[in-house]
Amino acid sequence: MLLGEIFQVALQAIRANKLRSFLTMLGIIIGVGAVITMVALGSGAQKAVQARLEALGPTLLSIYPGQSFRGGIAIDFGQRVSLTVDDADSLAAYARHVKAVVPELTRNQQIKRGGTNANVNIVGTTPNYPAVKNFTVTAGRMFTAGEDEGRRRLAVLGSAIPDMFNANPAGMIGQEIQIRGIPFEIIGVLSSKGSAAGFGNPDEQILIPLQTARYRIMGTDRLRTITVDAASVSQMTLTMIEIERVLRREHKIRPGGENDFQIRNQSDILATFQDTAKTFTYLLAGIATVSLIVGGIGIMNIMLVSVTERTREIGVRKALGATRFNILFQFLVEALVLCLAGGVIGILLGSFGAVALSRLAHWNTSINLLAIVVAFFFSALVGLFFGIWPARRAAALDPIVALRYE
């Protein structure tokens, strides 16, 4: 039997019951569409994280306070579990493989300008912050070491801040902004990192001198993090060992005692994120499998109805010389066409959903080609798997019984 005829018959049968065919496909459409959108969201987030890490440069290390609690809960023995400004100073003074040390004294604070309020991260830091963290100052300037020492009330804005007050960056230079009710002079605006909106966005922060933050705003010297720029990529491990040695001495940790800080390089952070991403992927695969099975059962159900409805047609075709295989193939193609059409519509809708999310909600999405290919083959597989049984039933019909069917 010619392939063209088989496809024609399948399409004809699908078209003859448009609404029913559509409802049947809906299961596959929703399953595939949801998966495509979610995978796009997942890979978008992954790309954003990767881009952010890459923008930092490969020689950067981050030091965080507290024990690493890999595989369990850290127990606080009442030890000092904090990083201080003194720790940062010691690193700068004693660690030889370190090129730059950037302490970050970060708290979320209310800011105010004119009648507008907002809550953003205020980062007390040193003048080398933009250079080490790969920002440029697009308008105005960064504060100097002298101004830091002098505890001056100066502010350098992240690129997203001017937007919050509906002002243009250059126009804000020299103006006043209140941080925790204390007036600061705006002296510069940073370049954009252009990554995801939301929690911890580096474009939505304000830099102020470290000493100003310590004595005038936060009243503490406990840092959220210290960023270290290692002298060379080839000596990262050595640098980490050196940092560990300096900090253990500073914190007076006895040999054999646990570190009360963590040093992480980029690949650690990436690995942590990828662990999360993997869990997310398994979850997605689970949802996809369930929805495709449900969709497939729908297809099988309708194919069984279709075989019953067309029993006489099957009888006629067999009487005219159709072989078992001809009939089997005809119904299999019908199921396959239903599934693939559902899959393609689902792919289109899912991609559309991903684009809409990034346009309207400004979420990072990245449409994953592999996900599309896998979704396509999975819908084909569902068609074959759930179509084979109804098709076999049709093929096994006895011609006379089928012809007599009322």
Q: What is the smallest separation between the CB atom of 273 and other proteins, expressed in angstroms?
A: 56
Instruction: Select the residue interacting with other proteins from 321, 360, 361, 370 (CB under 8 A).
Output: 321
Q: What is the smallest separation between the CB atom of 5 and other proteins, expressed in angstroms?
A: 5
Among the residue ranges 97-105, 138-146, 297-305, 311-319, the one whose residues contact other proteins (CB under 8 A)? 311-319
Q: Which residues have a Cβ under 8 Å from the Cβ of 328 and sit 6 or more positions away?
A: 391, 392, 394, 395
Q: Does 313 bind other proteins (CB under 8 A)?
A: yes
Q: Is 206 helix (H, G, I), strand (E, B) or coil?
A: strand
Taken as a whole, the chain contains a residue count of 406
Q: Pick the closer one to other proteins by CB: 12 or 136.
A: 12
Q: Does 326 bind other proteins (CB under 8 A)?
A: yes
Q: Does 141 bind other proteins (CB under 8 A)?
A: no
C-alpha–C-alpha distance, residues 229 and 252, integer Å: 24
Q: Does 283 bind other proteins (CB under 8 A)?
A: no
Instruction: Select the residue interacting with other proteins from 141, 312, 359, 362 (CB under 8 A).
Output: 312
Query: Comparing C-alpha atoms, which of 181, 105, 191 is closest to residue 156?
Result: 191
- Exposure letters 273-290 (e unless 16+ CB within 10 A, then b): eeeeeeebeeebeeebee
Q: Pick the closer one to other proteins by CB: 280 or 405.
A: 405
Do 334 and 387 meet the contact criterion of CB atoms below 8 Å apart? yes
Q: Pick the closer one to other proteins by CB: 16 or 297.
A: 16
Among the residue ranges 111-119, 158-166, 309-317, 335-343, the one whose residues contact other proteins (CB under 8 A)? 309-317
Question: Pairing state of beta strands 154-157 and 116-125?
Answer: unpaired
Q: Does 400 bind other proteins (CB under 8 A)?
A: yes
Q: Which amino acid is at 289?
A: T
Q: Does 163 bind other proteins (CB under 8 A)?
A: no
Q: Does 315 bind other proteins (CB under 8 A)?
A: yes
What's 176's DSSP letter?
E
Instruction: Select the residue interacting with other proteins from 324, 356, 373, 377 (CB under 8 A).
Output: 324
Q: Does 19 bind other proteins (CB under 8 A)?
A: no
Instruction: Select the residue interacting with other proteins from 197, 319, 356, 373 (CB under 8 A).
Output: 319
DSSP string, 66-117: S---TTSPPP--S----EEHHHHHHHHHH-TTEEEEEEEEEEEEEEEETTEE
Encoding tokens for residue 392? 């076999």
What residue ranges bind other proteins (CB under 8 A)? 1-2, 4-5, 12, 16, 312-313, 315-326, 399-400, 403
